[in-house]
Amino acid sequence: MGKRILIIDDELNMRHMLTVLLNESGFFVDAVADGMEALQKVDEIYYNFIFCDIRMPNMDGMTFLKTAADKIENSNVIMMSAYGSIETAVEAMKLGAYDYISKPFKTDEVLLTLRKADERERLKSENIILKEQIKEIAENSSFGNMIAKSRAMKSVFKLAEKVAQYDTTVLITGASGTGKELIARGLHYGGNRSNNPFIPVNCGGIPEALLESELFGHKKGSFTGANKNYKGLFEAANSGTIFLDEVGDLPFTLQVKLLRVLQDNEVRPVGGTQSKLIDVRIIAATSKNLDKEVESGNFREDLFYRLNVLPIRLPSLIERSEDIPLLCEFFIDRFNDKLGKKITGITPSAMSLMLRHNWPGNVRELENMIERAVVMTEGDVLVCENLPHQLLNDTKQSHSIEEIFNGFSIKTGKEILEKNLIQRALEATGGNRTKAAKLLEISHPSLLSKMKTYRILL
């Protein structure tokens, strides 16, 4: 492994036993008899791991922990004692120790503790690298409160940054949970209307009977219950932006009124006889296919063209799977702050499950899943057991020869066979695409193309 270990123990036999064991396991080992000698060592050398006895002459283990705190803050310290108690272990942890083992101990126990500490150190290193990547991406590849490193999302951010500077009407499309409102907010707060209101409206969440009044306002006495004049959301958004979420759910009768707002920049309250001029930027969003809605007669064609001046399509999470590790780290940091946790990362096996999931709820589903995992975990890393059952039950699709020949289509059979062979090759090579391409006897670019076609994720 090539990592350095410092053994601090006043017993010569213990120092000798641990030195031999750890040298044979591939570590570089130094051994000293007390805390004073250890202070000199940690002042000169960085140690990945430190085994420290508690009771020693000159300087004991607890005093060493306090005195060397600034020099060993990045080392994994494992305390040892034949006279220990739970209170002693807790106190050592408070002073920065990673673990505690009681003497006498078996060699397997030492190696197991080291493996756990090594995994923790590796995750901490990856976490630091990922945080630096997040910082870099936040500076270079972000928009509003969204971050990404995938090419698809970088294209979205680049387009959105340009559009934010103008009052052009924007139509944001994408599946539920892809971040349509976040893009809308980014467009508003990144433009010259940022100091003015941003009013979000869910067109599918307000009863049809109330929606017209909510959007355009009403006059006192215009209907039962209208006890006073009411300023609608369009008027409330004057000089700012109104975000019409799920505009595809807007009733057909109100589509005409929205079209008039877009054409004339004015609204007429329910029961009113005069229109009011407004200065509002309109950003709309929908998870529906408005082209098909227009074809079926459920959405006005003229309104669609008015809204679709500048379309922005948000890809689903499965289309930007390379963003999943980055988003996981981002959400872990967020929920660490919110829940008072200190999660350092996620294990490779748990991340593998994340990458294999289809994410029907997209980024919103991922965010909720990470929050649940942060709440459920009892350690400092997220593991498979912290994830919901549907992820644990997810398996890669595979097909037998009988399934391939269940039908008569040569094209379908060829596709199933190719996908099956690619998955087997990737599993056999541990996800190494270069080696998998050699096993399959195809070029590396060809393998990448087929993986994209068949949506095979690592």
Alpha carbons 178 and 174: distance in angstroms, whole number: 6
Share of the chain above pLDDT 70, in %: 89
State which fold the 401-453 domain adopts. Arc Repressor Mutant, subunit A (1.10.10)
State which fold the 4-123 domain adopts. Rossmann fold (3.40.50)
Listed by start position, the domains of the chain span 4-123, 164-313, 319-393, 401-453
Give first-to-last CA distance, the chain, whole Å.
27
Listing DSSP states for 107-158 in one string gives HHHHHHHHHHHHHHHHHHHHHHHHHHHHHHHHHHSEETTEE--SHHHHHHHH
Residue 27 above 70 pLDDT? yes
pLDDT at 313: 94
Binning pLDDT at 50, 70 and 90, where does residue 132 land? Answer: low
Q: Express each pLDDT in 348-391 by its tens digit.
A: 778 888 888 889 899 999 999 999 999 999 888 898 889 988 77
**Mean pLDDT for the stretch of residues 129-156:** 72
- Is residue 419 a contact partner of residue 384, using CB atoms and an 8 Å limit? no
pLDDT at 136: 60
Residue 174 above 90 pLDDT? yes
- Do 4-123 and 164-313 have matching folds? yes
CATH H-level superfamily of 164-313: P-loop containing nucleotide triphosphate hydrolases (3.40.50.300)
More confident residue, 13 or 406: 13
Single pTM value for the model: 0.60
Q: Which residues contact 83 (CB under 8 A, 6 or more apart)?
A: 54, 55
- Is residue 57 a contact partner of residue 64, using CB atoms and an 8 Å limit? no
Neighbours of 338 (CB within 10 A): 10
Domain 319-393 bears CATH identifier 1.10.3720.10? no
Binning pLDDT at 50, 70 and 90, where does residue 403 land? Answer: very low
